[in-house]
A and B are shown apart, each in its own frame.
Chain A
Amino acid sequence: MVTPADDRRRRSLTTVWLVARREIRERTRRTAFRWSTVGLAALTMLAGTVAGLVEQGSGPEYTVAVVGSQTEALVDALAEPPPEGRATSSLQLTVVTPSSMAEAVALLRTGTAEVVVDSDDPSVVWQAAPDPALASRIDSALRAVQLRSAAATEGLPIEVVDEVLAGAPDVSSISPGTSVDPVALVAGIGAAVLLLASLTLWGNYLLMSVIEEKDTAVVEVLLGQVPARQLLAGKVLGTGLAALGQIGVLLAAAALALVLSGTAVPPGVVAAIPSVLVWFVLGFWLYATLYAAAGSLVSRQEDAGQAAAPITIVLVATYIVVFQTAESPDSTVATVLSLVPPLAPMLMPLRIATSSVALWEVMVAVSLLVLTGLLVLRLASRIYERSILQRGVRTGWADALRSR
């Protein structure tokens, strides 16, 4: 049964959507929008490719000399996909098989090989200090060979052995943060900067569009049919959707660049890319309503900067904090700052990409952001409703909240 209240709700949703659709059309129809999207996508792809190149060159390269009767089995074992640890998976191995131990040691001396492995009487000789990652890889390979030959002697089914070997523990460093993976770093900073830039850019579009409606007085015609709140909601929604579309294109470009360059993508980055969309939605909600309220306070484009100054200051401050956070994403300061609502939309995706963030941290950040968003929405729509028809005068933030 459709009650009058349902009917009203449906109609107000229709109104909000009509306003939003106009904003989307108005925004995306402009050549500037199309070119800036193409340009930014190209930049993102370039950044992604550079990150990929950095990553490919970063894995240490080693030559391993293998001798003994089990040489063949050991070479196979070394070529097996390594356990899912970042530290070992980026190793670039070249395996050589000299005919004798003496020949192998000669390779060590000339520096052609960094390590010799004897498969019969398992022993490992290093040219210099062992690389723990490579040592662990060789160790695993040796044990695999031993286990397989023992199994063959004892008559254990080979499947059981393979299963045991496949279940080998992940090998990784226990002190993350000391060295952040470069792909993660580029992706994390990239995400934070993209979010910052988008919030600033689209927030300012909204600011200008609110002022334009006031400046041209078209807002009074609209208010004759549409309640101020619905107008505000439609403008925020429409601008947000247009922005989301642009960010979607940019993220797709980034993902494409990473795939094309064949980079090994850290799991944090895989999680961070789609989460950017979610953080943008939450961040935009907060900032956009503030920008709209700022726009309603002034009547001329020239006053826009002054009205939006408090918001700009917060965003610029966040920009500085982003680089601090990238250096040590797990520090207490970074953790705390990433929970602060106005900063969370930028700092959280950065931390998710560059370190391991606990689920509770994300939940707290999101909850605080949503709560702040709701509060700001109330205040901002009150300011908007009260000042949108006050033309000619510049209203202060405090005045707009006080007066009625």
Chain B
Amino acid sequence: MLELHDLHKRYGDVVALDGVSLSVKRGQLVGFLGPNGAGKTTAMRAILRVVQLDRGTITWDGHPVDEDTRRRIGYMPAERGLYPAMRVAEHIEYLGRLAGLDAPSARRATRTWLERLDLAGRADDEVRTLSTGNMQRVQLALALVHEPELLVLDEPFSGLDPLASTSMRAILEELLGGGTAVLFSSHQLDLVQDLARDVVIVHRGATVLSGDVSTLRSASPHRFVELSVTGEGRHRLDDLEDELFDRFGSTVVRRTAAAVRLRVSSEVDARQVVEAAARVPEVVGVSYGPPDLSEVFAEAVRW
């Protein structure tokens, strides 16, 4: 298990970390969220000891991360970096050797990952000749070549097209099944909501919210009603807004010509709200539920 406890780091007058704590178990995937500049990258760098902390502890299975444990971590930094003039296979093998694999194992692992990432045909090409998507795959291979027990991925989905994104998810899910612990940061909250059971939200260098995604969502004091209509129903949305405001004190979150999303208190009787909404003619869809992860996130980092 990876445990970060009360991390602190300043750069001159800038406070990068001000009490970040989190943990990731084997076989667990944790989404690491926070606005830009919240300290995600600094915290992830600190796990790899690329950044020296002012205060706080980082342990893997109860031991501080040292040279030995570091070799059991796979790291993908937010800024992708590859040697443009190196050949693909050579590059992956090199990182494998640096992570402690002997030459035959590094070669074997490189071949395996080239196959799995659909790069086998490009093994002897120089990295600079690859497309952005393929470079991303090479980058992922660098993090995986030494079969790490823990993966630290900084924005692994950024810049991926939907297809590449899907194959990345498949790979992550497979690794999780094998017991790998994964910590990844992302700004694509809908994707995180689908993929991760657990999230940690940091803001201004400190952990503000963490836990199971569905628990966090249902723990919110708010519920959301969403209604989409067509035809005659479009002219009745204003009336509905007024009615729900009078009866339940709702507020409009989003409004288009054919749809409205309203926020109510979680105390309100869900059935009455949904029934009121469903009375509008020509309804296409009604939903009632807890906030999305993005709404939970927005609430957590609002102050």
Chain A positions near chain B (C-beta within 8 angstroms): 8, 11-12, 15, 18-19, 22, 26, 212-213, 216-227, 389, 391, 403
Chain B positions near chain A (C-beta within 8 angstroms): 12, 45, 48, 50-51, 67, 70-71, 73, 75-77, 79-86, 94-95, 97-100, 139, 142
Contact A217 B77 (CB under 8 A): yes
What residue of chain B has the Cβ atom nearest to residue A403's Cβ? B12
Q: List 30 A-B contacts (CB under 8 A).
A: A12-B67, A15-B98, A18-B94, A19-B98, A22-B94, A26-B83, A26-B85, A26-B86, A213-B81, A213-B83, A216-B82, A216-B83, A217-B80, A217-B81, A218-B81, A218-B82, A218-B83, A220-B77, A220-B79, A221-B75, A221-B82, A222-B98, A224-B73, A224-B77, A225-B71, A225-B98, A226-B98, A227-B67, A389-B51, A391-B79
What residue of chain B has the Cβ atom nearest to residue A18's Cβ? B97
Residues of A within 8 A of B94 (CB): 18, 22
Give the 7 A-B residue pairs with the shortest CB-CB distance, closest first. Answer: A217-B81, A218-B81, A224-B75, A217-B79, A220-B77, A224-B48, A225-B98
What residue of chain B has the Cβ atom nearest to residue A22's Cβ? B94
B7 to chain A, nearest CB (A): 17
Chain A CB within 10 Å — which of B67, B76, B84 has the most?
A: B67
Contact A224 B81 (CB under 8 A): no
A110 to chain B, nearest CB (A): 73
How far is it, in angstroms, between the C-alpha of A22 and the C-alpha of B85 when the chains are bound? 11
What residue of chain A has the Cβ atom nearest to residue B97's Cβ? A18
Contact B75 A8 (CB under 8 A): no
Contact B98 A216 (CB under 8 A): no
Residues of A within 8 A of B12 (CB): 403
Contacts known (A26-B85, A223-B48, A224-B48); A18 close to B98, Cβ less than 8 A? yes
How far is it, in angstroms, between the C-alpha of A389 and the C-alpha of B52 when the chains are bound? 12
Contacts known (A11-B100, A15-B98); A224 close to B79, Cβ less than 8 A? no
How far is it, in angstroms, between the C-alpha of A18 and the C-alpha of B51 when the chains are bound? 23
How far is it, in angstroms, between the C-alpha of A18 and the C-alpha of B77 when the chains are bound? 22
What residue of chain A has the Cβ atom nearest to residue B66's Cβ? A8
Determine which of B73, B84, B97 lies in contact with A216 in the assembled complex, contact meaning CB atoms within 8 Å: B84
Determine which of B45, B51, B70 lies in contact with A225 in the assembled complex, contact meaning CB atoms within 8 Å: B70
Contact A225 B99 (CB under 8 A): yes
Contacts known (A18-B97, A226-B98); A221 close to B142, Cβ less than 8 A? yes
Contacts known (A11-B100, A217-B79, A403-B12); A225 close to B95, Cβ less than 8 A? yes
A238 to chain B, nearest CB (A): 13
Residues of B within 8 A of A218 (CB): 81-83
13 new A-B contacts at CB < 8 Å, known A19-B98, A26-B86: A11-B67, A12-B67, A216-B84, A217-B80, A217-B81, A218-B82, A220-B77, A221-B139, A223-B48, A224-B75, A225-B75, A225-B98, A391-B79
Q: How many A-B contacts if CB must be within 8 Å?
A: 63
How far is it, in angstroms, between the C-alpha of A168 and the C-alpha of B99 when the chains are bound? 67
B95 to chain A, nearest CB (A): 7
What residue of chain B has the Cβ atom nearest to residue A11's Cβ? B100
Chain A CB within 10 Å — which of B48, B70, B94, B98 has the most?
A: B98
What residue of chain A has the Cβ atom nearest to residue B128's Cβ? A216
Residues of A within 8 A of B99 (CB): 225
Residues of B within 8 A of A225 (CB): 70-71, 75, 95, 98-99
Contacts known (A26-B86, A217-B77, A224-B77); A389 close to B100, Cβ less than 8 A? no
Residues of B within 8 A of A224 (CB): 48, 50, 70, 73, 75, 77
How far is it, in angstroms, between the C-alpha of A24 and the C-alpha of B95 when the chains are bound? 16
A214 to chain B, nearest CB (A): 9
What residue of chain A has the Cβ atom nearest to residue B99's Cβ? A225
A249 to chain B, nearest CB (A): 23
Residues of A within 8 A of B77 (CB): 217, 220-221, 224
A300 to chain B, nearest CB (A): 14
How far is it, in angstroms, between the C-alpha of A18 and the C-alpha of B139 when the chains are bound? 19
Contact A389 B50 (CB under 8 A): yes
How far is it, in angstroms, between the C-alpha of A223 and the C-alpha of B95 when the chains are bound? 11
A21 to chain B, nearest CB (A): 9
Residues of B within 8 A of A223 (CB): 48, 50
How far is it, in angstroms, between the C-alpha of A177 and the C-alpha of B301 when the chains are bound? 80
How far is it, in angstroms, between the C-alpha of A221 and the C-alpha of B32 when the chains are bound? 20
How far is it, in angstroms, between the C-alpha of A149 and the C-alpha of B178 when the chains are bound? 101
How far is it, in angstroms, between the C-alpha of A12 and the C-alpha of B68 when the chains are bound? 11
Residues of A within 8 A of B48 (CB): 223-224
How far is it, in angstroms, between the C-alpha of A227 and the C-alpha of B48 when the chains are bound? 10
A277 to chain B, nearest CB (A): 29
What residue of chain B has the Cβ atom nearest to residue A391's Cβ? B79
Residues of B within 8 A of A22 (CB): 94
How far is it, in angstroms, between the C-alpha of A221 and the C-alpha of B80 when the chains are bound? 8
B83 to chain A, nearest CB (A): 6
B298 to chain A, nearest CB (A): 29
Chain A CB within 10 Å — which of B77, B99, B139 has the most?
A: B77
A5 to chain B, nearest CB (A): 12
Residues of B within 8 A of A217 (CB): 77, 79-81
Residues of B within 8 A of A403 (CB): 12
Contact B67 A221 (CB under 8 A): no
B201 to chain A, nearest CB (A): 24
How far is it, in angstroms, between the C-alpha of A128 and the C-alpha of B228 when the chains are bound? 123
Residues of A within 8 A of B76 (CB): 221
What residue of chain A has the Cβ atom nearest to residue B98's Cβ? A225
Contact B81 A220 (CB under 8 A): yes
How far is it, in angstroms, between the C-alpha of A11 and the C-alpha of B66 when the chains are bound? 13
Contacts known (A224-B50, A225-B71, A227-B67); A219 close to B81, Cβ less than 8 A? yes
Contacts known (A18-B98, A225-B95); A220 close to B70, Cβ less than 8 A? no
Contact A221 B85 (CB under 8 A): no
How far is it, in angstroms, between the C-alpha of A248 and the C-alpha of B242 when the chains are bound? 89
Chain B CB within 10 Å — which of A12, A218, A403 has the most?
A: A218
